[in-house]
Structure 1
Amino acid sequence: MGRPLIPSSRALSQNFLADRAAAERFARLAVPRAGTVPLLLEVGAGKGALTAPLARRCGELRAYEIDARLVPGLRARFSGSPGVHVVAGDFLAVRPPRTDFSVAGNVPFSRTAEVVDWCLRAPALTDATLLTQLEYARRRTGDYGSWTLLTVRSWPRHSWRLLGRIGRRSFRPVPRVDAGVLRIERRVAPLLDAGALPGWRSLVELGFSGVGGSLHASLRRTHPRRRVDAAFRAAGLDRGVLVGEVDPARWLRLHEVLLP
Structure 2
Amino acid sequence: MTRQPAPMRARKRFGQNFLTDDSVIERIAGAIAPREGERLIEIGPGQGALTEALLAAHGALDVIELDRDLIPGLRARFFNYPDLRIIEGDALAFDFAALRGDGPALRVVGNLPYNISTPLIFHLLAAGDAIRDMHFMLQKEVVARLAAEPGSGDWGRLSVMTRYYCDVISLFDVPPSAFVPQPKVDSAVVRLVPRRGDRLHAHDEQRLSDLVRRAFAQRRKTLRNNLRGVIDAAELEALGIDPGRRPETLGVAAYVAIANHLHEAAS
TM-score, normalising length: structure 2 = 0.78
Closer, same or farther in 2 for the Cα pair 1:206/1:127, shift >3 Å? same
Deviations 1:166-219 (A, max 9, x none): 111100011101111132222122523463535534543443344993024545
Q: Which residue of 2 aligns with 1:132?
A: 138
Closer, same or farther in 2 for the Cα pair 1:12/1:121, shift >3 Å? same
Q: Which residue of 2 aligns with 1:208?
A: 216
Residues 224-235 of structure 1: matches in 2 within 5 Å?
225-232=233-240
2:9 counterpart of 1:7:
yes
Q: Which residue of 1 aligns with 2:107?
A: 102
Q: Distance in 2 between matches of 1:206 and 1:11?
A: 30
Closer, same or farther in 2 for the Cα pair 1:121/1:139, shift >3 Å? same
Contact 1:102 1:126 in 2 (8 A): yes
* Amino acid in the other structure paired with 1:189: G
**Which has a greater percent of helix?**
2
Task: Pick one of 164, 186, 193 that aligns with 1:178.
Answer: 186
Contact 1:37 1:102 in 2 (8 A): no
Residues 63-212 of structure 1: matches in 2 within 5 Å?
63-96=63-96, 97-99=99-101, 100-123=105-128, 124-142=130-148, 145-189=153-197, 191-193=199-201, 195-210=203-218
Matched residue SS, 1:241: coil
Give the drift of 1:55. Answer: 2.3
Give the drift of 1:129. Answer: 1.3
Q: Percent identity?
A: 28
Matched residue SS, 2:49: coil
Contact 1:147 1:246 in 2 (8 A): no
Q: Distance in 1 between matches of 2:208 and 2:6?
A: 52
Q: Distance in 1 between matches of 2:235 and 2:213?
A: 18
Q: Distance in 1 between matches of 2:189 and 2:247?
A: 26
Q: Distance in 1 between matches of 2:210 and 2:123?
A: 21
Q: Which moved more, 1:49-58 or 1:12-21?
A: 49-58
Q: Distance in 1 between matches of 2:188 and 2:262?
A: 36
* Amino acid in the other structure paired with 2:205: L
Give the drift of 1:114. Answer: 3.2
* Amino acid in the other structure paired with 1:12: F
Give ranges in structure 2 of 5+ residues lacking alignment.
none
Q: Which residue of 2 aligns with 1:26?
A: 28
Matched residue SS, 2:208: helix
Closer, same or farther in 2 for the Cα pair 1:164/1:186, shift >3 Å? same
**How many equivalent pairs are there?**
253
Give the drift of 1:21. Answer: 0.8
2:249 counterpart of 1:241:
no
Matched residue SS, 2:124: helix
Q: Distance in 1 between matches of 2:114 and 2:47?
A: 17
Matched residue SS, 1:22: helix
Closer, same or farther in 2 for the Cα pair 1:129/1:252, shift >3 Å? same
Q: Distance in 1 between matches of 2:260 and 2:6?
A: 59
Q: Distance in 1 between matches of 2:220 and 2:82?
A: 58
Closer, same or farther in 2 for the Cα pair 1:148/1:213, shift >3 Å? closer
Q: Distance in 2 between matches of 1:251 and 1:117?
A: 17
